[in-house]
Amino acid sequence: MMPEYDEKQTWATRRTTFLLVVLLAAVVRVWVGWDADPLDLDVGHFVRYGKALANGNPSGFSHHWSLGPILLTALTHRLGLDPLFWLQLSTIIAGVVAVGACMVMVYRLCRIWSVALLAGLLMSCNPSMLVYSVNSMGEMPFIALMLLAAAIQLPPEGTTRHHPGRFLSAGALLGLGYLYRPIESYLAFGLLGLWQLHYAWTSRAFSRLLWIGLGAAVFISFSMPQTVVTKIRTGVWSPSTKFSMLVYRDFGTDSKAMYGLNTPLQEEQRRYQ
């Protein structure tokens, strides 16, 4: 005789295992982060630019380094907190969020909880994910925002309806991702938009085109102000990160010079620290 299907018990099991995997991800990341010293070399640049920005130096808005860590450093410096600690804590939290978002995304894609559980376990202990979760860089916060956007896009169990608010939320999340990986956030939103267009075309849900346009407006409203402010402060349209420098052919900032000890920009920043 087959046992009766208990939906409440199934949801309780999923919720419990989900929380256990997220807890495992948090414990492993805190443990690894406790001994993650020295930090990534680029973190020194985040701290230098962030302190310069907090102290009134407009060159703290760099078009070479991601603005997210710089703004976090500026805020913590203003509040009298340790920027290095909060930079690392931000990536640890992002790493944990990424694990949870990955499990939700995988489950909504295949509707098989064991597969989602396996994906969460692999991401919890994957060496590369651990490194990026404790190195205070911008990759893991962007990954977390991107996975959250993808998970929100997919309809939950029991429905196939794509609520328009999900696409607007995804646009806002990827717009925040611009703080960490500018070009990649545009690419991610473009792929998300193409997927929505494909769904609208195949299901003949042409009213969805309106929500796609509104989602794009939300994304641009989050990302474009950062580009404009960077242009005003640095005179360069190109957003941050080295990849965008290749795309825009903007080599106004020499990567090797950025690692030098006595560049004119760094000398200027020292006067504000």
Would the pLDDT of 119 be above 50? yes
Dihedral angle computed from the Cα positions of residues 17, 22, 28 and 31, in that order, rounded to the nearest 10 degrees:
-130
Instruction: For residue 137, give both structure tokens.
Output: 């860089």
CA–CA distance, 259 with 243 (Å, rounded to integer): 17
Phi, psi of 93, deg, nearest 5: -60, -45
Residue-level pLDDT at 62: 63
Distance, first Cα to last Cα, the chain = 75
* Distance in angstroms (rounded) separating the CA atoms of residues 45 and 158: 48
Which residue ranges make up each domain of the chain?
12-270
Mean pLDDT across the chain, nearest whole number? 77
Length of the chain: 273
Alpha-carbon distance 111 to 108, whole Å? 5
Out of 14-18, 35-39, 154-158, 189-193, pick the least confident: 35-39
- Global model pTM greater than 0.85: no
Side-chain-side CA neighbours of residue 150 (13 Å): 23
pLDDT over 90 (residue 146): yes
Q: How far apart are alpha carbons 156 and 153 in whole angstroms?
A: 9
Q: Which tens digit of pLDDT belongs to each residue from 87-103?
A: 999 999 999 999 999 99
Residue 260 CB-density burial (10 A; 0-12 exposed, 13-18 middle, 19+ buried): exposed
Report d(CA 248, CA 251) in Å as an integer.
Answer: 9
Question: Using one digit for the tens of pLDDT, what is the confidence trace for 212-267?
Answer: 777 888 888 887 777 777 666 666 655 555 555 555 544 444 444 444 444 444 45
Q: How far apart are CA 245 and CA 5, in angstroms?
A: 56
